[in-house]
Each structure stands twice: as C-alpha cells, then as structure tokens.
Structure 1
Amino acid sequence: MRHFDWLKNHMSHCDTFAQWVHHQFEYEFKDQPLADWQQEFAEGQSNGQWQCLIALDHNQLLGGAALAAHDLSTRPELGPWLACVFVTPSARGTGIAEQLIECIYSHAQHCGIEKLYLHTSDQHTYYAKRGWTVVEQFKAWDKTQWLMSRIVG
C-alpha cells in the first residue's frame, strides 16, 4: 500500500534517496562528493534545511520531494524551495510526483509560508500546468534553468 511520510521517520532510506538525487542532478553536485551530500541531506532532516517527504509502498522507497530552506546559492534571498523531486523510473507515470509536490505545498501552507520557489532545467511545462509561474530564465551548470514560484494559500 502506497503512503507518504517524512524521511526523518524512515532514516534508513536517507542515504539511498540522497544518492538518487545526487545522480539525477549530477550537474548540480559536480563539486560535492556523494558522501558529503548524504551527510548534509541527513542533517537537513532534523535541522529543517531539507525537509523531505517520501513515497513508500510498504517499505519500498518510490521517491520523494523536499521543502528546502535554500536551493540556489546565487539567489540566497529566495526561499523556501520545492527541491529534490525524484521518483524511481519503475514508479513514474503513477501520479507520485504530483502527490509529493502537492503534499509539500500543503505543508508549506500549514507552516504559513507565502510563496515557494523551484528551479528546473527541463520540467517548466510540467510545473506550469500545476500552478507554478516562471519568474525568470537563467544559466547555471551550463544549462538553461527556469526559476519558478507558486503562491501558497
């Protein structure tokens, strides 16, 4: 049975999810070794920097998404961020990503957050269909990125 819960309640999956994110977005992590990212991400589950929600089927990890305090070093004035959205290839197309995103949005709403941000190199159309607005385009990691936001409330 599929369910969603905070990663901090299932820390045995933390290194695996951090590894998936590190691999999926390798261009962002080219200067950060996997072990360092895994440690930062694990610490972020308790210090609020990376509040990750995961999707599980029984105890099998299917994916996750994070509410990050900071996710773009060139824009420290912005935040919080929807970040680290990843679903395993075998579970894609089942609505998990959208459910994770909406759960993070609802959590942000519950926390009194007024606006969420994200950046993407290839999914701006997907997010636009779900209420996210393009703020600007920029270049980072040798890729065109879309900075997007969504009003919470």
Structure 2
Amino acid sequence: MVRIEWLDRQMAQCNEMAQWIHQEFSYEYAHQSLASWQQEFSAGQQDGRWKCLVAMEGDQLLGGAALASNDLADRPDLGPWLACVFVAPEARRTGLAAQLIEGICDHARDTGITTLYLHTHSQSDYYARFGWEVVEHFQAWGKEQCLMSRRLK
C-alpha cells in the first residue's frame, strides 16, 4: 500500500530522492555536485527550503514533490514553488504525481500561501490540467521553459 508522508520523517530516503532529482534535472545541476545537492536538499528538509512530500511503498521510495522557497534564481520576486516533482519510472501512470502535487498545494494553502509557481520545459500541458496557468515563457539551461502559477483557494 502506497503512503504519502513528509521526507523529514523518512530521512533514510533523502539521498536517494536528491539523487533522482539531480539526475532527472541534470541541466539545472550542471554546476553542483551530487554530494553538494544531497547536503543542501537534506538541510532543506529541516529548514523548510525544500520541504518534500514523498510516496513510499514499504521501505521503497516511489517519488516526491517539494515546496521550495526559491527554485528560480533569476526570479527571486516569485515564490514559493512547486519543485522537484519526480516519480520512479515503475510507478508512473498511477496518479502518484497528481497526489504529490495536490499534497504540496494543500499544505501550502493550509499555511496561508495563496499562489504557487513552477517552471517546466516539457510538462506544461500536464500541469494545466490541474489548474496551473502559463505566466510566461523564457530560456534557461539551453531549453525553452514555461513559468506557471496556480492560485490556491
């Protein structure tokens, strides 16, 4: 049975989640070593910079999504952010990503956040199905990116 919980309660899985993110979004981490990112991500579970919700089945990590205080250095005026959304290939197409995204949105809403942001280069249609709207398009990391936002009611 899959359970959704905060990574700070499953810190034994933190380095694996950080490694998945580092690999999946390698273009963003080209100038940061895996070890450095793992340290930053781990510290972010404690101080809230990278508050991550994870999906677990037994002791197996299936995926995660984070509420990040800053996920786009060129836009410090925006935030907080939905970030680090990743589901292991064997757990995809099960609705898990949607559960994780909604969990982050619910938590953000419960803490008084009214708007979340994200950036993606390939999944804007997916996010639009969940109420995310395009704010602008921009170039970063050698790719066309889509900046999106979602009002939380």
- Range of TM-score over shorter length: over 0.9
Provide the alpha-carbon RMSD of the alignment: 0.4
Equivalent position of 1:15 in the other structure: 15
- CA distance in 1 between counterparts of 2:114 and 2:100 reads 19
Equivalent position of 1:90 in the other structure: 90
Equivalent position of 1:126 in the other structure: 126
- Paired residue secondary structure (1:27): coil
- CA distance in 2 between counterparts of 1:100 and 1:129 reads 15
- CA distance in 1 between counterparts of 2:63 and 2:40 reads 19
TM-score normalised by L of structure 2: 0.99
Equivalent position of 1:109 in the other structure: 109
- Cα drift, residue 64 of structure 1: 0.1
Equivalent position of 2:99 in the other structure: 99
Equivalent position of 1:79 in the other structure: 79
Percentage identity across paired residues of the two chains: 58
Which letter maps to 1:77? D
Structure 2: gaps spanning 5 or more residues: none
- The reply on whether 1:149 has 2:149 as its aligned counterpart is yes
Which letter maps to 2:148? M
- Cα drift, residue 23 of structure 1: 0.1
Equivalent position of 1:25 in the other structure: 25
- CA distance in 2 between counterparts of 1:151 and 1:115 reads 5
Question: How big is each residue's C-alpha offset from its partner over 1:97-142, in whole Å with a ceiling of 9 and x where there is no partner?
Answer: 0000000000001000010000000000000111000000000000
Equivalent position of 2:50 in the other structure: 50
- The reply on whether 1:4 has 2:4 as its aligned counterpart is yes
After the TM superposition, which parts of structure 1 deviate over 4 Å for at least 4 consecutive aligned residues? none
Structure 1: gaps spanning 5 or more residues: none
- CA distance in 2 between counterparts of 1:128 and 1:94 reads 18
Report the number of matched residues.
153
- CA distance in 2 between counterparts of 1:46 and 1:102 reads 22
- Paired residue secondary structure (2:64): strand
- CA distance in 2 between counterparts of 1:18 and 1:30 reads 14
- CA distance in 2 between counterparts of 1:5 and 1:81 reads 19
TM-score normalised by L of structure 1: 0.99
- Cα drift, residue 58 of structure 1: 1.3
